[in-house]
């Protein structure tokens, strides 16, 4: 039997899951049979596949909370996770294993070695996470969203650009019209960003600007009723969102590059805690240096920029570059997958 299965490993938040969904959509559009695709995920990741009609397996996979030492100290739990995956997936007939990182990446790497399967890694951030860092030392091809990605084995590393929804288009914003500001804090929302926006709304009236605020799952606050302010938990079609806004306030995770590719200037509030803080800070620094974003690190900075826009002072937009250094990586990666399948 010919090996023809493609197995994607993605867990956790939308930042790891959406690139896989986008790649699967692209593969199906060019004729790949969805029966040849399998997904390994966890309880958080499985919610994104509910309406996708794609074979996916939600598993309780070991997750180290103390870095590399956690993997060494819990080898029995890791072996158990590997055994579960082997029972769920026909690895003998798999042609490609593909991971977008996080704690499942080292398991995908080990299985690619054990079963001698082509292994692809996609890294969304300029500073790779621990999972992809460990996985990158196995035989693999690594695709990066940012140029000069670090904390990852550089062998067979290719800068492709991010994997995004192909519907995302370059948005030619007109900054002379009424300004609409989009607010989002990642796929799970951000209590910090939500609080900053609520503080601004309680102290100011929206007259010449509008705000569309993605608060995150289960975070709707019906008491926040203001003129020119709209609050939603989640937006399915982000292309519509980007087409409707002129400026975005957000975190600086991997998903922020969708806004960049939509030509949306950014005010960035990088996450400051835990392992995520390193890559968000470095993502933001790259985008600020490229003049695609500005830091917005406290309430005073946010209020200053919003009040300028309220006064119809759009000089903020003059500070951003029109030269976008980020390009979509979908086609390159899809072609690599097809080339491998056709061998």
Q: What is the pLDDT of residues 20-42, one digit of tens each?
A: 999 999 999 999 999 999 999 99
Contacts of 73 (CB under 8 A, 6+ apart): 66
DSSP-derived 3-state class of residue 217: coil
| Domain-located, residue 172 | no
Of how many residues is the chain composed? 343
Among all chains, which residue has been given the structure tokens 């030509």?
A: 263
Query: Rg of the chain over CA atoms, in angstroms?
Result: 21
Tokens of 122: 């996609």
Shared-domain flag, residues 243 and 131: no
Residue 109 shares a structural domain with residue 190: no
> What is the edge-to-edge ordering of all strands in the sheet holding 94-99?
55-58, 37-41, 5-9, 94-99, 118-123, 141-144, 157-159
Do 283 and 302 lie in a common domain?
yes
For residue 217, the domain's CATH number is 3.40.50.2000
* Domain annotation covers residue 171: no
Looking at residue 335, its pLDDT comes to: 98
Give the model's pLDDT for residue 90: 94
Q: What is the pLDDT of residue 22?
A: 96
> Which residues touch 285 (CB under 8 Å, ≥6 apart)?
none
91 and 158 housed in the same domain: yes
Domain count for the chain: 2
Residue 35: the pLDDT is 94
Q: Are 276 and 206 in the same domain?
A: yes
Residue 243 lies in a domain: yes
Domain match, 152 and 190 both: no
215 and 120 both lie in a single domain = no
* Distance from C-alpha of 338 to C-alpha of 27, rounded to nearest angstrom: 8
| 170: in domain | no
Residue 139 and residue 312 in contact, taking contact as beta carbons nearer than 8 Å = no
Domain that holds residue 153: 5-165+328-341
Would you write out the chain's pLDDT as a tens digit for each of its 343 residues?
Answer: 568 899 999 998 888 999 999 999 999 999 999 999 999 999 989 989 988 899 999 998 877 777 777 777 678 888 999 999 999 999 999 999 999 999 999 999 999 999 999 999 999 999 999 999 999 999 999 999 999 999 999 999 999 999 999 888 776 655 556 899 999 998 888 999 999 999 999 999 999 999 999 999 989 999 999 999 999 999 988 999 999 999 999 999 989 999 999 999 999 999 987 666 689 999 999 999 999 999 999 999 999 999 999 999 999 999 999 888 999 999 999 999 999 999 8
249-259 tens-digit pLDDT: 999 998 999 99
Pair of tokens at residue 8: 């994607």
pLDDT of residue 63: 75
Pick from 140, 54, 160, 159: which is nearest to 99 by CA?
Answer: 140
Give the other-Cβ count within 10 Å of 20's Cβ. Answer: 25
Quick one: 82 exposed, middle or buried, by C-beta within 10 A (0-12, 13-18, 19+)?
middle
173 within some domain: no
Give CA separation, 179 vs 207, 237, 244, 264, 294, in Å.
Answer: 10, 20, 9, 12, 17
Same domain, 128 and 275: no
Could you tell me if residue 67 is inside a domain? yes
Q: Are residues 128 and 196 in the same domain?
A: no
State the CB neighbour count (10 A cutoff) for residue 232: 14
Torsion sign across C-alpha atoms 126, 131, 132, 136? positive
- For residue 276, the number of C-alpha atoms closer than 13 Å in the C-beta half-sphere is 15
Residues 54 and 90 in one domain: yes
Tell me, what's the pLDDT at 51? 84
238 and 147 in one domain? no
* CA gap 160, 8 in Å, rounded: 18
How buried is 267 (Cβ within 10 angstroms: 0-12 exposed, 13-18 middle, 19+ buried)?
buried
**To which residue do tokens 């569309």 refer?**
212
Pairing of strands 141-144, 179-184: unpaired
Q: Is residue 30 part of a domain?
A: yes
Same domain, yes or no, for 51 and 115? yes
């Amino acid at each position: 039997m010919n090996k023809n299965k493609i197995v994607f490993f993605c867990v956790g938040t939308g930042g790891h899951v959406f690139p896989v969904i986008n790649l699967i959509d692209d593969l199906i559009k060019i004729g790949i049979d969805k029966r040849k695709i399998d997904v390994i995920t966890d309880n958080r990741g499985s919610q994104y596949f509910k309406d996708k009609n794609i074979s996916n397996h939600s598993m309780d996979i070991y997750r180290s909370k103390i870095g590399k030492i956690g993997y060494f100290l819990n080898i029995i739990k890791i072996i158990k996770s590997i055994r579960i995956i082997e029972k769920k997936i026909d690895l003998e007939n798999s042609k490609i294993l593909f991971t977008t990182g996080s704690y499942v990446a080292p398991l995908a790497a080990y299985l690619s070695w054990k079963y001698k399967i082509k292994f692809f890694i996609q890294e969304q951030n300029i500073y790779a996470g621990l999972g992809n860092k460990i996985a990158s030392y196995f035989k693999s091809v690594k695709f990066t969203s940012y140029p000069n990605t670090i904390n990852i084995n550089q062998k067979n590393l290719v800068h492709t650009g991010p994997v995004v929804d192909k519907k995302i288009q370059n948005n030619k914003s007109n900054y002379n019209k009424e300004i609409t500001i989009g607010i989002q804090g990642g796929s799970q929302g951000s209590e910090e960003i939500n609080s900053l926006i609520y503080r601004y709304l309680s102290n100011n009236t929206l007259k010449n600007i509008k705000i569309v605020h993605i608060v995150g799952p289960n975070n709707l606050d019906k008491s926040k009723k203001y003129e020119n302010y709209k609050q939603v938990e989640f937006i399915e079609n982000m292309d519509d969102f980007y087409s409707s806004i002129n400026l975005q306030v957000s975190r600086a995770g991997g998903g922020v590059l969708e806004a960049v590719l939509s030509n949306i200037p950014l005010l960035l509030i990088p996450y400051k805690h835990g392992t995520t803080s390193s890559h968000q800070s470095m993502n933001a620094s790259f985008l600020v240096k490229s003049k695609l974003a500005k830091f917005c690190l406290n309430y005073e900075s946010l209020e200053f920029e919003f009040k300028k826009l309220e006064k119809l002072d759009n000089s903020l937009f003059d500070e951003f570059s029109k030269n976008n250094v980020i390009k979509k990586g979908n086609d390159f990666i899809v072609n690599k997958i097809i080339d491998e399948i056709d061998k």
